[in-house]
């Protein structure tokens, strides 16, 4: 009988999991459907000579422990830009610039300066509590012994140790809509708009939706400011793949897993789309939970209630990706040339973000979407021909389940987004060499993200910690023996962090059961 462990998908979590398992002496085979490793953290060519990070484009919370333990620096991982500033574009004047800790410039209301510093300081303290859970398997809610109860007790203690004021704030705010928190904290629209984006990006939530404070905290569990690696996000994945291969992992590209094979309640291997069957002692799925169970395993192998929970798991993506090849650097209104390479936001107020969200609730796209822009070719000229640039933009809201479908409306949506960009960067259109729009539907077909959801499932309290992805699957192990999950659908969730993969590897090595 084989001792091989198969990892489904060479996304960053799959690669992290593979590397740790191989370092522990296991035989590991990673099967990736696409022609390159990385899943949603890839750099790819979208027009001849122009490369972009195809999905995720900024690195927030990549686990420093993974960076250290897998010696990623020796495998080619370097920052092109380490502390990316946020530049909230202003349609009528100077933008607001902050570094996640302090406002650098562009404040409309002086009282916001201290308020912002204090607010971010508080949010970092609260986020630190969440971050402490990231490296761990979530607490069990039922337990057979006090040993099992300890993680939950520890979480309660850590919460108490925040001190009375912070614990109160955490409990008060954790389910709150970001909009309400912004209203009680700040005066300036530009600032509120920028912070509202951080609370909703990648979700089907608006700033007035509950749980958006949680999303904001989740974003800041990483770092107060994102970074950009040399070679784009794909370089992170390439360095992980290199580290995994060095540890003995075999990676097969273009090997699409069509089914995870189950016999007598136990995973026995996989069948590829080509029909090839590969046996394994353990299968670890980096695919999102819905894809894993509805398509690869089959709900009939699960208990009926668990199947229902998976079926109802919320994972409709609303974020599209626009890539633009440019023959010259665009000029954004009021933005100093030195700032064009930072993180540019189009979200001039929290109300703007809220109004952008409204159509998404009813299956329509925003006519005035929020846009997060990165021009990675400024820090990393290798991505475009000399003097040329690539612009990578996350455009929200573009719901996966668009009324009437995306095919008929993608051109209109793209034109709409380009018009918005033109408004903030007059003359933008004249620089365009090529464009690529990836709707959530495209993200699903090209990257296997169910519903086109970047985080493999909405990050809200009902799908958080032990409850992520759904109750009963919160500990990486599944009811199918020898089948584990390791993707962003698991705790601690989305963002290129690698922690789900690292935690899953630990559970696999311990032979954990659900």
Partner 1 sequence: MRTPREHFRLVVKYTPFHSRTVAANELNLWHRWRDYSVADAYFDVSLEYTALRNTCAVFDISPMTKHRITGPDALAFMNRLVTRDVAKIKPGRVGYAVWCDEQGQVVDDGTIFHLSPGVYRLCSQERQLDWLHTARLGFDVTVVEETEDVAALSLQGPTSCATLCALGLTGIETLTPFGMRTFAFGEAELLVSRTGFTGDLGYELWIDPAHAEALWDALFEAGNLYGIRPLGTHALDIARIEAGYIQAGVDFLPADHAIRADRTRSPFELDLAWLVDFSKPHFTGRRALLAEQSRGSRYRLVRLDVAGNKPATDAYVYDAKRRVVGTVTSAVWSPMSKASIALASVAMPHGAVGTPLWAEIYYQKELKWNRTNVECTVLAGPSYDPPRRKVTPAPMR
Interacting residue ranges for partner 1, rule: CB under 8 A: 262, 265, 294, 298-308, 311, 472, 479
Give the nearest distance from C-beta 477 to partner 1 in angstroms.
12
Query: Measured from the CB atom, is 144 or 386 closer to partner 1?
Result: 144
Give the nearest distance from C-beta 302 to partner 1 in angstroms.
8
Query: Measured from the CB atom, is 79 or 294 closer to partner 1?
Result: 294
Give the nearest distance from C-beta 462 to partner 1 in angstroms.
18
Give the nearest distance from C-beta 499 to partner 1 in angstroms.
28
Query: Measured from the CB atom, is 37 or 313 closer to partner 1?
Result: 313
The tokens describing 138, both together, are 């979530």
Query: Measured from the CB atom, is 149 or 246 closer to partner 1?
Result: 149
Helix, strand, or coil (residue 437): strand
Report how far apart, in Å, the C-alpha atoms of 188 and of each of 13, 65, 105, 123, 511 are. 39, 38, 13, 19, 52
Rounded Cα distance, 284 and 297, in Å:
12
Radius of gyration, CA atoms only, the chain:
22
State the DSSP code for 349.
S
Rounded Cα distance, 463 and 205, in Å:
14
Residue 445 makes CB contacts below 8 A (sequence gap 6+) with: none
Give the nearest distance from C-beta 401 to partner 1 in angstroms.
18
DSSP string, 7-27: EE--BHHHHHHHHHHHHTT--
Query: Measured from the CB atom, is 381 or 472 closer to partner 1?
Result: 472
Q: Strand runs (DSSP E) across 82-172, as ranges?
A: 86-88, 96-98, 103-105
Query: Measured from the CB atom, is 72 or 306 closer to partner 1?
Result: 306
Give the nearest distance from C-beta 141 to partner 1 in angstroms.
13
Query: Measured from the CB atom, is 131 or 290 closer to partner 1?
Result: 290
Give the nearest distance from C-beta 299 to partner 1 in angstroms.
3
Write the burial class of residue 200 (CB in 10 Å: 0-12 exposed, 13-18 middle, 19+ buried).
buried
Query: Measured from the CB atom, is 64 or 298 closer to partner 1?
Result: 298
Query: Measured from the CB atom, is 140 or 367 closer to partner 1?
Result: 140
Dihedral over alpha carbons 381, 385, 388, 389 (to 10 degrees): -50
For β-strands 282-285 and 483-485, DSSP reports them as parallel
Give the nearest distance from C-beta 300 to partner 1 in angstroms.
5
Dihedral over alpha carbons 383, 385, 388, 389 (to 10 degrees): -10
* Residue 120 phi, psi (nearest 5): -65, -35
DSSP string, 193-241: HHHHHHHHTTSS--TTSTTHHHHHHHHTTT-SS-BEETT-HHHHHHHHH
Helix, strand, or coil (residue 455): coil
Rounded Cα distance, 349 and 185, in Å:
14
Helix, strand, or coil (residue 42): coil
Quick check: 346 and 380 in contact, CB under 8 A? no
Give the nearest distance from C-beta 311 to partner 1 in angstroms.
5
Helix, strand, or coil (residue 123): helix
Give the nearest distance from C-beta 267 to partner 1 in angstroms.
12
Query: Measured from the CB atom, is 357 or 476 closer to partner 1?
Result: 476
Give the nearest distance from C-beta 305 to partner 1 in angstroms.
5
Rounded Cα distance, 173 and 220, in Å:
15
Rounded Cα distance, 161 and 8, in Å:
40
Query: Measured from the CB atom, is 127 or 306 closer to partner 1?
Result: 306
Give the nearest distance from C-beta 162 to partner 1 in angstroms.
33
Query: Measured from the CB atom, is 82 or 271 closer to partner 1?
Result: 271
């Amino acid at each position: 009988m084989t001792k091989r462990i198969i990892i489904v998908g060479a996304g960053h979590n799959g690669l992290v999991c593979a590397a740790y398992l191989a370092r522990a002496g296991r035989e590991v085979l990673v099967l990736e459907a696409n022609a390159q490793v990385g899943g949603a953290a890839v750099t790819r060519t979208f027009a001849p000579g122009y490369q972009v990070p195809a999905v995720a484009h900024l690195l927030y919370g990549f686990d420093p422990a993974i960076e250290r333990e897998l010696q990623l620096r020796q495998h080619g991982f370097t920052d092109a830009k380490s502390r990316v500033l946020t530049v909230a574009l202003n349609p009528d004047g100077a933008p607001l610039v902050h570094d996640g800790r302090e406002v650098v410039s562009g404040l409309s209301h002086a009282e916001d300066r201290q308020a912002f510093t204090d607010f971010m300081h508080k949010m970092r303290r609260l986020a630190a509590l969440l971050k402490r859970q990231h490296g761990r398997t979530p607490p069990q809610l039922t337990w057979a012994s006090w040993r099992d109860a300890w993680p939950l007790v520890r979480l309660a203690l850590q919460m108490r140790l925040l001190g009375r004021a912070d614990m109160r704030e955490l409990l008060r705010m954790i389910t709150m809509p970001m909009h309400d928190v912004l209203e009680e904290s700040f005066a300036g629209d530009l600032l509120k708009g920028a912070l509202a984006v951080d609370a909703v990006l990648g979700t089907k939530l608006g700033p007035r939706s509950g749980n958006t404070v949680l999303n904001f905290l989740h974003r800041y569990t990483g770092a107060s400011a994102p970074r950009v690696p040399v070679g784009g996000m794909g370089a992170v994945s390439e360095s992980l793949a290199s580290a995994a291969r060095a540890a003995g992992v075999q990676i097969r590209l273009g090997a699409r897993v069509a089914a995870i094979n189950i016999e007598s309640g136990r995973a026995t291997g996989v069948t590829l789309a080509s029909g090839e069957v590969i046996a394994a002692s353990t299968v670890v799925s980096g695919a999102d939970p819905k894809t894993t169970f509805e398509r690869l395993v089959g709900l009939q192998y699960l208990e009926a209630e668990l199947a229902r929970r998976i079926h109802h798991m919320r994972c409709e993506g609303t974020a599209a990706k626009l890539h633009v090849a440019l023959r010259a650097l665009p000029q954004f209104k009021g933005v100093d040339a030195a700032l064009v390479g930072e993180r540019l936001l189009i979200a001039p107020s929290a109300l703007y973000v809220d109004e952008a969200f409204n159509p998404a609730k009813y299956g329509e796209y925003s006519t005035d979407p929020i846009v997060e822009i990165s021009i990675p070719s400024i820090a990393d000229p290798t991505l475009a021909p000399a003097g040329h640039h690539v612009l990578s933009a996350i455009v929200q809201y573009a719901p996966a389940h668009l009324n009437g479908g995306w095919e008929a409306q993608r051109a209109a949506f793209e034109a709409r987004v380009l018009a918005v960009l033109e408004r903030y960067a007059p003359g933008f259109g004249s620089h365009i060499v090529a464009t690529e729009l990836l709707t959530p539907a495209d993200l699903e077909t090209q990257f296997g993200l169910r519903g086109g959801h970047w985080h493999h499932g909405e990050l809200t309290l009902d799908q958080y910690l032990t409850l992520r992805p759904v109750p009963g699957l919160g500990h990486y192990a599944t009811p199918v023996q020898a089948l584990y999950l390791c993707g962003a659908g698991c705790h601690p969730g989305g963002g290129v962090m690698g922690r789900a993969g690292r935690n899953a590897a630990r559970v696999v090595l311990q032979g954990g059961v659900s």
